[in-house]
Every structure is written in structure tokens, then in C-alpha cells.
A = this chain, B = another copy of it.
Amino acid sequence: MQVNESIEDYLEQILIQQEKNGCARSVDIATSLGVTKASVSHATKLLRENFYIHMDDDKCITLTESGREIAERMYQRHRVLAQFLVRLGVREETAFADACRMEHDISAETFSAICRHAEKGWK
């Protein structure tokens, strides 16, 4: 399995829910990502087989070390990109939605350039 956009979205969403509730549930992942439970089930099976997540007996999903690493990277990108866009004058909602797609596309070099400017101001 290669880690692609879809997989990254699942991992990021699991992180968000895990931070909020202690663990993530399939049904909530489905709602947040706008996909069916069947799709989540399929994805979590893959993620489990490749040791990116752990699912305990009562279906509570948590990230493993390697899953968390990817999820944190995506979530950080998501937040920094959204903040950056807001400072460029984009409405918060649009910024968040666009950042959600951009986070998968940019190189480490571009991300660090954006990090440098997301905090500073510009004229």
C-alpha cells in the first residue's frame, strides 16, 4: 500500500478525532469525510494491515507511531496553510477547504517557505 491523498485524509481525520475523543470511530470518520461506512471499513482494513492504525476489540481506532507521524504532518500542513490563506484575505471556510487539498500537493520546500511567511506579515 502506498500512502496517497485518500490514505492521508483518513489518517488526519483519525488524529483529529483521537485528540478530541481519545479514539476514532468508523461512523464518525465516514461522516466527516463524506464517504460511506463501507469505504471507511475498507480503508481501515488497509491501514490496519499496514500498521498505521490499531483497532481494539470495541472498534476504537488509534494511530500507531507511523500512522501518527503522517497524520501529524498532514494536520500541521492543514493548519498552517489555512492560516496562511486567511492572512492573504481568504475567508476562513474557503481557506480550510482549500488547505485540505493543498496539504497533499506541496513539497517540503514549499511548505517550509510558507511556514516562514505564515507568521510574518506582508504588505
Oligomer copy total: 2
Which secondary structure characterizes the binding site on chain A?
A: helix
User: Are B107 and A94 in contact, CB atoms less than 8 angstroms apart?
Assistant: yes
What CA separation (Å) do A113 and B91 show in the bound complex? Answer: 10
* Segment at the B interface, from A7-15, A25-33, A62-70, A98-106: A98-106
Residue of B whose beta carbon sits closest to that of A102: B105
**Among the listed B91, B98, B105, B121, which residue makes an inter-chain contact with A123, where contact means beta carbons less than 8 Å apart?**
B121
Known contacts A122-B123, A123-B122; A98/B107 CB under 8 A: yes
Q: Does A40 contact B (CB under 8 A)?
A: no
Q: Does A117 contact B (CB under 8 A)?
A: yes
User: Are A88 and B101 in contact, CB atoms less than 8 angstroms apart?
Assistant: no
What CA separation (Å) do A98 and B107 show in the bound complex? Answer: 7
Would you give the shortest CB distance from A12 to chain B, in whole angstroms? Answer: 16
Would you give the shortest CB distance from A108 to chain B, in whole angstroms? Answer: 9
What CA separation (Å) do A91 and B110 show in the bound complex? Answer: 9
Which chain A residues have a beta carbon within 8 Å of chain B's beta carbons?
A: 85, 88-91, 94-95, 97-98, 101-102, 105-107, 109-110, 113-114, 116-117, 120-123
